Amino acid sequence: MAISAKDVMSLRQRTGLGMMECKKALTQTDGDAEAAIEILREMTKGKMDERTDRAASEGTLAVAKADDGSAIAIIELSTETDFTAKNSDTEAGADKVAGIILGNPDAEGDVQAVVDELRITTKENISCPRTLRVEQPEGGKVGHYLHHNRQVAAIVTVDGDVDDETMLGLCQHVAAIVPYPDAVDESSLPAEEVAKAKAQFIAEAEESGKPTEIAEKISQGRMAKWVDERTLLGQTYVKDPDGKQQVKDILPEGSSVKSYIKYQVGVHD
């Protein structure tokens, strides 16, 4: 069967591969474009696999949310270059992967198929290093925030009735805050770390030569600050222009933060 230049060009546009590679694949499949794509996928995947030692320090994030708000998925795609990370095809692929994970967090094969397609078209070492699906807690809510540059994202779950604006603010805080909080509140911090910090502040206050009563107040103040810096609820709310509000102050009465997670491209704690 004669392979036309139009057919070769069409396959090249679909795969991003060279004219000769596309023509060879079409020749092998008697002009069947879909079968040719499968051949190219297998051939190029092998070439891409040989490049896995190439650093993929750039990337993009994507988030998908169920229509009924019952769950949210967040994923990261790693790429070699910033140009590829910001490519519309890469972002569309990331969105597709997020949708796959939202429907089935164990669909590794479907995710890999999307990644393989991107590796073919970009000729870069692309991977999906992490994915996460978070469900809405019973009697609570799950919210998310994805920064416009797709480099930072966050998901927060709460117990109780929290309005959408507050949920967004919580997610934006988690995405923006540095340092990243160790726990939701003091009760969630490791008990041994709390005890060690308290003992240290008391000892330092006593060594300062202050009267016992004053030394205790000093140690209590330092301990409170230590807890605030390490807990989400104790941190200064990033959207408060005066810097006086803590995260716990924006929560409606009777509600509480259940969990939080931040994704940042290339930062894997």
- Could you list the residue range(s) of the whole structural domain that residue 122 is in? 52-135
Instruction: Report yes or no on 168 lying in a domain.
Output: no
Instruction: Report yes or no on 19 lying in a domain.
Output: yes
Instruction: Report yes or no on 171 lying in a domain.
Output: no
pLDDT for 114 = 94
Q: How many CA atoms lie within 13 A of 220 on its CB side?
A: 6
Report how far residue 254's alpha carbon sits from residue 2's, in angstroms, rounded to the nearest whole number. Answer: 73
Domain count, the chain: 3
Domain of 26: which CATH number? 1.10.8.10
pLDDT for 23 = 87
Instruction: Report yes or no on 213 lying in a domain.
Output: yes
CB 61 within 8 A of CB 265: yes
Residues 45 and 56 in one domain: no
Domain of 68: which CATH number? 3.30.479.20
Tokens 């910001």 correspond to 86
Q: At residue 119, what is the residue type?
A: R
Q: At residue 177, what is the residue type?
A: I
Report how far residue 11's alpha carbon sits from residue 16's, in angstroms, rounded to the nearest whole number. Answer: 8
pLDDT for 49 = 65
Residue where one domain finishes, among candidates 103, 135, 167:
135
pLDDT for 217 = 84
Instruction: Report yes or no on 29 lying in a domain.
Output: yes
Per DSSP bridges, beta strands 127-135 and 140-146 are unpaired
Report how far residue 252's alpha carbon sits from residue 170's, in angstroms, rounded to the nearest whole number. Answer: 12
CA distances from 192 to 180, 202, 205, 228 (A): 20, 16, 20, 17
Q: Of 77, 151, 63, 85, which is closest to residue 115 (Cα–Cα)?
A: 77
Residues 60 and 114 in one domain: yes
Q: How many CA atoms lie within 13 A of 103 on its CB side?
A: 9
pLDDT for 125 = 87
Instruction: Report yes or no on 66 lying in a domain.
Output: yes
pLDDT for 206 = 79
pLDDT for 46 = 63
Residues 31 and 89 in one domain: no
Residues 19 and 94 in one domain: no
CB 26 within 8 A of CB 7: yes
Residues 35 and 59 in one domain: no
List the chain pLDDT tens, one digit each, 269 residues: 788 888 888 887 777 677 788 888 899 999 898 898 888 888 776 666 666 666 678 999 999 999 999 999 999 999 999 999 999 999 999 999 999 999 999 999 899 999 988 988 888 889 999 999 999 999 999 999 999 999 999 999 999 999 999 999 999 999 999 889 999 999 999 999 999 998 898 888 878 777 777 877 888 889 999 999 999 999 999 999 898 999 999 999 999 999 999 999 988 86
Residues 65 and 116 in one domain: yes
Residues 64 and 125 in one domain: yes
Residues 36 and 58 in one domain: no
Instruction: Report yes or no on 117 lying in a domain.
Output: yes
Q: Of 60, 6, 57, 8, which is closest to residue 29 (Cα–Cα)?
A: 8
Residues 58 and 131 in one domain: yes
Give the pTM. Answer: 0.80
Instruction: Report yes or no on 235 lying in a domain.
Output: no
